[in-house]
């Protein structure tokens, strides 16, 4: 039996069990005031046209140009922790006196954000949020299973399902909650199909996870483990020989491999084609977290699976709108059956308030703009080429981690960049292992070639690019 048919069978059996227990949960779509009349008049809720552009506009730069106050600047240089109070002048936050007239500011070029396409400042995205807020407020505040699901949520889900070439999509409050919901639902699947109250070993689900997967995947698996319905195997980062051995030695029938598609701290891609081969051989469920690949990779922005031409071989795709879409929220692109299972058993979805309507409207606008303004992806990858040419380092994505080693060196390098006018964060434990502290640089379509020249010039004063040999991101610091 084909992989998809086998898992479809298991999910179908789980849904039948939930139905018999009267535990199936369904969304409860609502029309907001005046929404039905507007749909009758226009065929859609509000405007269906989004203004798009052929090249970078002045407002795009606002996604990479930021300012900090002089007190904040001094504190950062001295590594003094901030409570955030210095962004407000006055005796206390209770003064409600926000402003700039009494403070001096330092302008910085941001190289630490995840707004890869610069869409957070796009007029169409801003207008969609503003119009939805004006017409509907924040929307009904409840979970999607009670009263929080509207036309705007469905519109966004449909556009994401189409982007990912999947049957359906489930919108979640965040990408973190999306991974948590899926992993817990997997644990529930094993419990529902077990002959007894607790699955025996052969009835459990084996989950194989890359050792550098995002914390949300790890935490979700740990929560599923507490149900005593899954077993957790960690394979070495992108090491298909290790994964192959683990799969071959595992006698459990239900196997799942979950991996980041584009790793957020190292900037490398999962070996998608080898994973697809293993999927077919072992009848496993292939799940990818495409948080950093969605809208960035692929001709239409469909992500890493589109880039590697294996969309049909990825069973479930987790994503987020908080990065390249410049908005907020997470999603799970999957089949209708999987959606029904997750919305019935995924606790982080069930017990969370739905995304506010203006955010859902902005997200839908961002999906449309990201697909149409293909120049943004082109410019982003041009900046990747710029960095390669200027440093000689063969980076493979817009995420660049320059590993300097000790925490002291990473912090010192970040401070020096701050003095040069660049916002580049030092990444330290527990985000990364000890002695692998790094400067994490994130490129954007809103950056220019001149920005890259200035950044690499500043970096070269205390980093020896030539020591990398053009292939390694482990660099020798002059500090």
SS3 content of the chain, % helix, strand, coil (to 5): 45, 15, 40
Of 193, 226, 221, which Cα lies nearest the Cα of 206? 221
| pLDDT value at residue 97 | 47
Provide the 8-state DSSP code for 356.
Answer: P
Query: Which secondary-structure segment (H or E) carries 176?
Result: helix 175-193
- The pLDDT value recorded for residue 185 is 97
Backbone angles phi, psi at 286, to 5 degrees: -100, 120
What pLDDT digit, counting tens, does each position of 388-435 carry? 999 999 999 999 999 888 899 899 999 999 999 999 999 999 888 898
Most confident listed range (40-49, 95-104, 400-409): 400-409
Beta pairing class for 29-30 and 437-442: unpaired
pLDDT at 471: 45
- Cα 357 from Cα 33, distance rounded (Å): 13
* pLDDT tens profile 450-472: 999 999 999 988 777 765 544 44
* Residues 276-321: tens digit of each pLDDT: 999 999 999 999 999 999 999 999 999 999 999 999 999 999 999 9
Q: What is the pLDDT of residue 90?
A: 47
Rg (alpha carbons) of the chain, rounded to whole number: 24
Return the beta strands (E) in 204-253 as ranges. 205-210, 230-235
Cα(36)–Cα(129) distance, rounded to whole angstroms?
19
- State both tokens at 408: 């002291």
Residue 43 confidence (pLDDT) above 50: no
Render the burial of 110-135: b for 16+ CB within 10 Å, e for the rest.
bbbbbbbbbbbbbebbbbbbebbbeb
C-beta atoms surrounding 461 within 10 Å? 11
Q: What is the average pLDDT score of the chain?
A: 90
Mean pLDDT value of segment 97-101: 45
Cis status of the peptide bond prior to 430, with omega within 30 of 0 = yes
By the 10 Å C-beta count (0-12 exposed, 13-18 middle, 19+ buried), 353 is classed as middle
pLDDT, average across residues 210-220: 97
| pLDDT value of position 457 | 95
């Amino acid at each position: 039996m084909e992989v998809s048919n086998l898992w479809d069978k298991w999910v179908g059996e789980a849904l039948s069990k939930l139905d018999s227990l009267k535990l199936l949960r369904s969304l409860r779509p609502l029309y907001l005031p005046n929404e039905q009349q507007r749909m009758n008049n226009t065929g859609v809720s509000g405007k269906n046209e989004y203004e798009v552009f052929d090249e970078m506009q002045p407002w795009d730069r606002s996604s990479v140009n930021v300012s900090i106050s002089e007190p904040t600047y001094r504190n950062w240089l001295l590594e003094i922790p901030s409570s955030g109070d210095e962004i407000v002048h006055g005796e206390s936050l209770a003064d409600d006196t926000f402003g700039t007239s009494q403070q001096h500011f330092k302008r910085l070029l941001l190289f630490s954000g995840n707004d890869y396409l610069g869409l957070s400042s796009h007029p169409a995205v801003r207008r969609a949020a503003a119009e939805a807020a004006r017409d509907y407020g924040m929307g009904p505040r409840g979970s999607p299973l009670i009263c929080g699901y509207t036309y705007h949520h469905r519109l966004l889900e449909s556009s994401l399902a189409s982007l990912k070439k999947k049957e359906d999509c489930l919108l979640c409050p965040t990408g973190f909650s999306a991974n948590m919901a899926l992993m817990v639902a997997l644990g529930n699947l094993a419990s529902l199909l077990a002959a007894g109250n607790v699955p025996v070993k052969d009835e459990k689900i084996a989950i194989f996870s890359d050792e550098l997967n995002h914390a949300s995947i790890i935490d979700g698996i740990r929560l599923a483990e507490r149900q005593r319905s899954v077993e957790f195997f960690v394979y070495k980062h992108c090491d298909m020989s290790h994964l192959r051995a683990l799969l071959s030695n595992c006698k459990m029938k239900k196997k799942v491999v979950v991996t980041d598609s584009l790793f957020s701290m190292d900037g490398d891609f999962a070996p998608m084609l080898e994973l697809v081969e293993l999927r077919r051989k072992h009848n496993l469920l292939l799940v990818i977290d495409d948080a950093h690949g969605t809208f960035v990779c692929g001709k239409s922005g469909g992500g890493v699976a589109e880039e590697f031409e294996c969309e049909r071989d990825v069973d479930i795709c987790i994503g987020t709108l908080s990065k390249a879409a410049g908005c907020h929220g997470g999603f799970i692109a999957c089949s209708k059956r999987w959606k029904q299972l997750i919305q019935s058993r995924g606790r982080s979805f069930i017990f969370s308030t739905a995304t506010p309507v203006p955010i859902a409207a902005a997200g839908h606008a961002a999906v449309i703009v990201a697909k149409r303004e293909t120049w943004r992806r082109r410019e982003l990858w041009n900046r990747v080429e710029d960095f390669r040419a200027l440093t000689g380092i063969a980076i493979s994505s817009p995420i660049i981690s320059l590993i300097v080693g000790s925490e002291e060196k990473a912090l010192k390098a970040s401070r020096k960049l701050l003095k040069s006018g660049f916002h580049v964060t030092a990444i330290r434990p527990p985000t990364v292992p000890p002695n692998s502290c790094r400067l994490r640089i994130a490129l954007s379509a809103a950056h220019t070639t001149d920005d890259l020249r200035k950044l690499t010039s500043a970096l070269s004063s205390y980093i020896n690019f030539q020591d990398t040999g053009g292939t390694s991101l482990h660099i020798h610091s002059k500090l």
